[in-house]
Structure formats: C-alpha cells, structure tokens
C-alpha cells in the first residue's frame, strides 16, 4: 500500500491517477511561453563550461567541431528544450568587455574576441546565467548568455584577461560581452569540411548547418515546434515524446550536468 492510501483502490490505480493528475498540472508549471527574439548584435553575458573533445552536443554537430571555438546558448534564445534549435550552427563574434561579479569590476587593457559556432544548449533553470526568458533577463541584465566551451585546444589558455595580484584569482567566471552575428566563414573551422555539418548517423535527430542565415531553407527549425510540442519552458524540459531520440535525452542530461556551475 502507498503511504497515502486510505481506500480499497489498488496502489496501481492510485499511482496512475496520481501521475495523471501530475501531468494535467504540467502546463501550468511553465513560467514562460515564448522564445527570446534577439537582435543580430548587442550585449550578453559569457560563462564557460567543460565540453570534452569530440563530444557531440545538443545540435548534433560533427565531433570535429570541438577542435574549433564553440558555445552553448541559453535555452529561450536557442529555441528548443530537447535537441537542436534555430541557433544551431550560427556564428557569433564575442568580445570581452568587463567582469562584474568582482569588486571592483575588471576592465581589461586588451581587447579579446573569439568567433564561435553554437553547437549546444544551455538549459533553462530558475537561477544561473541561462535563465533569461522573453520577459525577464538574467542576473547580468541580458537576454543572451554564451557558455563558451573552454578550455579548448582552439582557444589560448590565457584568453580570459586577469589581474591576479589585485584579485587573487584569474577566473572571473562571468563576463559582460558584446556580440555580433557573423557569417561562419569567419569561424576557425570554416575551411575544414569535417568540422562542418551534422553527424550523419543521427539523421533527423541532428541539425547543424554550416552557415545558417536565418532563412528557413538553411536554418534549423525549433525541435519542439517541428514535433508539435509547444515551446517547452519547464526547467527540466522533460516533455518526452516517442520521437525524442535516446541521444537527445542523453545529451540533455549531460548538458544539464555540465552547465551547473
Ligand atoms: C570581432 O570583434 C572585434 C572587436 O570589436 C573586432 O576587432 C574583430 O574584427 C571582430 N571579428 C569579426 C570576425 O567580426
Ligand atoms: C534569473 O536569476 C536572477 C538572479 O538569480 C533573478 O533575479 C531572475 O529573476 C531570474 N529570472 C528568472 C526568469 O527566473
Ligand atoms: C594590462 O594589465 C595587466 C594586469 O591587469 C598588466 O599586467 C599588463 O602589464 C597590462 N598591459 C599593458 C599593455 O598595459
Ligand atoms: C556591459 O557593457 C556595456 C558596454 O560597455 C555597459 O553599458 C554595461 O553597463 C555593462 N554591463 C555590466 C553589467 O557591467
Ligand atoms: C536560402 O536562402 C538564402 C537567403 O534567403 C538564399 O540566399 C539562398 O540562395 C537560399 N538557398 C537555397 C538553396 O534556396
């Protein structure tokens, strides 16, 4: 008997009715309903995370893409909660402006930029830097967060400027940055065919255009929309349908773990 059982109904039927009741409440648990419509350039926050070399992340971009600069984008701008989305494959020039968690803020005396390709999803959460929704920015006041895959064989270890004598540490963790949408011909992997495109074996579970322009003919749809699932704005994104491949679930699980600061 389940602990709350006080009738003659079997535990199984009670469990089913509990699950049914729980599911019927799910839509009301979501706390945003639209993707973030961002401009081609502006300000954002940048964090960094560990992406193992040759890892196939949420977009399903070829493993060789990890030999060049890549980043995850926050879920509500990325455009999907479970797999690929419209941001997949897009390239951005990211420029470090200042740290703002440190006291005082650190303004580097050098300009550091990196052109990244979006290959991964940074899941929506109630806090953290990927928590912006269409109506509420993240703690840095920005609607976009780029989670840079770093360290990376393609980005110098001293990419992030620091002043250890003054602060006592070198990693500021979160940066205020400017971003510009740029053609992927500016990306380090552009001249290497193996670094471009999707993992062929994944078929329709992957979408990583070499140079998406935003046009429907060369840009990934929202996986959620494409599959008739409304934009999933729940924290976990576990709106499992039969068309969601095991790989999507695994990559999402790995994403959730790897983006937790
Ligand atoms: C990226 O931005 C920096 C700083 O504004 C600029 O110097 C550089 O030319 C830009 N790179 C590209 C490819 O747009
Ligand atoms: C995101 O996190 C910040 C800081 O923790 C908080 O102020 C903000 O309300 C959060 N946004 C959402 C949509 O939860
Ligand atoms: C830039 O600042 C760092 C410390 O913040 C300092 O070590 C370095 O000498 C400065 N470089 C220039 C060119 O001023
Ligand atoms: C980020 O940089 C922009 C441009 O310099 C500046 O206007 C803004 O105040 C900065 N934001 C934070 C939180 O430091
Ligand atoms: C896709 O759309 C872009 C921009 O509208 C256009 O330049 C390009 O020719 C189109 N490609 C194909 C294959 O239709």
Q: Which atom of ligand 3 is nearest to the CA of 106?
A: 5
- The residue whose CA is least distant from atom 14 of ligand 1 is 93
Q: Is the CB of 13 under 6 A from ligand 5?
A: no
pLDDT at 82 exceeding the cut of 70: yes
Q: Is 179 helix (H, G, I), strand (E, B) or coil?
A: strand
pLDDT in tens, 225-247: 777 777 765 544 333 333 344 44
Q: Kindly give the pairing relationship between strand 145-149 and strand 41-49.
A: parallel
What is the C-alpha to C-alpha distance for residues 94 and 115, in angstroms, rounded to an integer? Answer: 6
Q: Which atom of ligand 4 is nearest to the CA of 98?
A: 14
* Interior/surface letters 92-102, b for 16+ CB within 10 angstroms, e for the rest: bbbbbbebbeb
Contacts of 50 (CB under 8 A, 6+ apart): 149, 151, 258
- The residue whose CA is least distant from atom 7 of ligand 4 is 43
pLDDT at 39 exceeding the cut of 50: yes
Q: Taking residues 172-184, what's their average pLDDT? A: 98
pLDDT in tens, 127-144: 899 999 999 999 999 999
Higher pLDDT: 40 or 237? It is 40
**Other C-beta atoms lying within 10 Å of the C-beta of residue 235:** 17
% of the chain exceeding 70 in pLDDT: 75
pTM of structure = 0.82
Count Cα neighbours of 183 within 13 Å in the Cβ-side half-sphere: 1
Q: Is the CB of 213 under 6 A from ligand 5?
A: yes
pLDDT at 66 exceeding the cut of 80: yes
**Domains assigned to the chain:** 33-259 (2.40.40.10)
Q: Compute, in angstroms, the gap from residue 131 CA to the centroid of ligand 2.
A: 6
């Amino acid at each position: 008997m389940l602990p709350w059982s006080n009738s003659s109904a079997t535990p199984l039927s009670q469990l089913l009715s509990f699950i049914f009741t729980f599911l019927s409440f799910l839509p009301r648990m979501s706390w945003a309903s639209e993707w973030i419509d961002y401009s081609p350039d502006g300000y954002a926050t940048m964090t960094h995370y560990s992406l193992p070399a040759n890892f196939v992340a949420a977009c399903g971009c070829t493993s060789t893409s990890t030999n060049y600069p890549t980043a995850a984008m926050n879920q509500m701008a990325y455009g999907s909660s479970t797999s690929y989305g419209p941001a997949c494959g897009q390239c951005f020039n990211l420029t470090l402006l200042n740290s703002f968690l440190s006291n005082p803020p650190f303004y580097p005396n050098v300009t550091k930029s990196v052109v990244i390709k979006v290959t991964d999803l940074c899941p929506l959460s109630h806090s953290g830097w990927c928590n912006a929704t269409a109506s509420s920015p993240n703690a840095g006041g920005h609607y976009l967060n780029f989670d840079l895959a770093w360290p990376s064989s393609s980005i110098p270890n001293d990419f992030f400027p620091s002043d250890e004598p003054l602060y006592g540490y070198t990693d500021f963790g979160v940066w205020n940055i400017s971003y510009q949408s740029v053609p992927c011909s500016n990306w380090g992997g552009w001249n290497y065919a193996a670094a471009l495109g999707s993992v062929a074996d994944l078929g329709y579970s992957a979408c990583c255009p070499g140079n998406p322009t935003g046009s429907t003919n060369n840009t990934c749809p929202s996986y959620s929309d494409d599959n008739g699932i409304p934009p999933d704005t729940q924290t976990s994104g576990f709106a499992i349908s039969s068309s969601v491949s095991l790989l999507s679930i695994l990559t999402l699980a790995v994403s959730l773990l790897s983006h937790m600061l």
